Structure 1
């Protein structure tokens, strides 16, 4: 497959992904305390992040869709990062039962600016429709061909805020081929829709470098990697965002 054309000139978006589904014991910068996470988010914004993606946690540090927990985290983040768009996850691992997942989300009183919907997961169309009906933007998470096909035929496809192309933990030498294949197919369906490209673990920094080359949006944070480009442990999300500035450019 040929090279993917770069997007028109514009400023790249750098999103800070604060925590992910990681256990809080994996890194000193991770916390189940929304206030501490919000302070970390503020430092990431000061370092250059323009958006925040977070997994709200319950008291035990587990990912949650509970309305009270989601409200607590969103309020803390908005207080610490006024005016910064905040997004959350809707991952099926939190609640595999689609009906219960939708019921939890329907009870949200504090709404995120956007939420990620993984299109390879059962119920993705219904989750996206609920979010859109409540005025919440949808990031279409595309991990593989299964998700790509499901999103391509989705009635919500054109209403998504962006497509989130997510590369797994894979060797750096396969990142470009994998990413460009997914990007090309997304471009066929929605030529003008923004794409945010990111990886995780081994693919995190190669994917960010490729995103900068292609002038795509990107993200970095302790959800995706615990290490800086040189392999040293990252002290916090702000350090990862600062390191990303060495790869990204204002176009």
Structure 2
């Protein structure tokens, strides 16, 4: 009887590990969820079976109603600044990278996620997460995998809504074409509707994503977040 239980636990850990980095973009100062599902903003991972407070006959929880956010929308026509940093993907050599992000957004790292860095606005409501994607995989495959993970991991009451899925080519600031795949979605992790853009970028002239980034904020921020996304996509590169 112990072996099936172990398999269930391993499956939960696998899903969390694959998808946790995107959810953590909601509230940048809150740790990612653990397998117990107790930490925000991930919400609770759907358990494999009933818990003491949940039986098979329990009705599903209602979909959350988002509370209006009173924060003014992020302004467009932002000024940008080139930032350099080093990340350390698991089982791979450290990678030096550069990217342009809004001027004044502050740098943040998480010792538990050495492969990525974040640049956050003064309210910690909007941010850019950048990661060295190792091993590189086709951008389309990375997008498809995240959609599956999101649908498996987010509880129905968080009201996940996929807004768009695209694959295209964008000219970088080095005048070279870059293949990118982009997923845009919204969800309600706590009480506020969040707007998330995840993009996989190939800076090597092929379709293998060596860079992964997410841009997160509020729905009303979307015009400005599109500016941030484009500048980040055009400028991001590995420098060593």
TM over 0.5: no
- Higher strand fraction: Structure 1 or Structure 2? 2
TM-score computed with the length of structure 1 as normaliser: 0.27
- Higher helix fraction: Structure 1 or Structure 2? 1
